[in-house]
Structure 1
Amino acid sequence: MIACVAVVGQQNNPLFIESFTEGEDELKFHYIVHCSLDVIQEKVSNPKKTGSAMNETFLGLLYPTEDYKVYGYLTNTRVKFLLVTTDQDVRDIDVRNFFRRFHAAYVDAVSNPFHVPGKRIISKAFTERVGAIVKSFGAPTT
């Protein structure tokens, strides 16, 4: 199950953070997202150490916590996507597919002529589309 998704800008400013859990966990997810940025920076600055290619956008599992697993994705424009999940046995192919769909939704949202680049994404359509992607996560693709 997905607990939280986030979009973080080039300057590590949060553009979109949405929690999908019951309760008052929003501050905890802001903290997890913020901590993930250090891991992303380390992976990007030391590609030989982590074994990933510089042109690889999927960063994989950033780090597991006791209750969550955090996955990362980096766009060509250095915008970061983060996925926080409670599932302990998530397949990489499912996470890659999620990020591919999430990236497409992001591109559609920022292509809006009324969106100011680098500012928070405030779009009901984007939020609903992300919710639909989250609901379909882990479902078999046809």
Structure 2
Amino acid sequence: MIVCVAVVGHNNNPLYLQSFVDDDNTLKFHYIVHCSLDVIEEKVSNSKRAGVNLNETFLGLLYPTEDYKVFGYMSNTKIKFVLVTTDHDLRDADVRNFFRRLHGAYVDAASNPFHVPGKRITSAAFAERVSNVVKTFGFGAAA
């Protein structure tokens, strides 16, 4: 089950964070997403140091916690997408497909002429599309 989806800008500023659980733990998810940014930066810098060209935007499992698994994805423009889930049996192919659809939704939202690049995404259409992507993949709780 997906419990949180986040989009983070290239300056590590939060652009969007949506929680799919009913409790008031959004601060906890902000913390988890913030911690994942360190892991993303480490993976990217290690690939550069090793001389590997990071053409693959899917970063895979960033880290597991006791209750969650955190996955990452980074676009070519350094926009980071973070997925927090409680499902410990997710296949990488499913997570990749989820991130591709989430990235597509982000591109559509960022292409809106009324969206200011680098600012929070407040579009209700984007929030609805993210919820639909989560429901489509069957990961989400009743959102």
- TM-score normalised per structure 1: 0.93
5+ residue gaps, structure 2, are none
1:10 — aligned with what?
Answer: 10
Judge conservation of contact 1:62–1:72 (CA < 8 Å) in 2. yes
Kindly indicate whether residue 125 of structure 2 is the aligned counterpart of residue 125 of structure 1. yes
Equivalent positions of 1:1-142 (< 5 A) are 1-47=1-47, 53-138=53-138
Asked if 1 retains the 8 angstrom alpha-carbon contact of 2:48 and 2:54, the reply is no
Q: What letter is aligned with 2:17? A: I
Between the two structures, name the one with larger relative contact order (CA 8 Å, sep ≥ 6): 2
2: distance between equivalents of 1:48 and 1:37? 17
Quote the offset at 1:99 in angstroms. 0.3
CA contact (8 A) 1:94 1:138 kept: no
> Identity, % of aligned pairs?
72
The 1:60/1:50 distance shift into structure 2, 3 A limit, reads: farther
* 1: CA distance, partners of 2:38 / 2:50: 14
Number of residue pairs aligned between Structure 1 and Structure 2: 139
Cα distance 1:90–1:111, how it changes in 2: closer, same or farther (>3 A)? same
Q: In the TM superposition, what is the alpha-carbon distance from 1:136 to its structure 2 partner? A: 1.3
35-44 vs 51-60, which deviates more? 51-60
Q: Which runs of 4+ in 1 moved over 4 A?
A: 48-53
> Could you say if the C-alpha distance between residues 50 and 80 of structure 1 is closer, same or farther in structure 2, counting changes exceeding 3 Å?
farther
Q: 1:2 to 1:136 in 2, by over 3 A?
A: same
For 2:119, give the aligned amino acid.
K
Aligned mates of 2:111, 2:77 — CA distance in 1:
14
User: How far, CA to CA, are the matches of 2:51 and 2:82 in structure 1?
Assistant: 20
User: 1:9, 1:118 within 8 Å by CA — same for their partners in 2?
Assistant: yes
Contact 1:36 1:62 in 2 (8 A): yes
Cα distance in 2 for partners of 1:133, 1:109 equals 14
Unaligned stretches of 5+ residues in structure 1: none
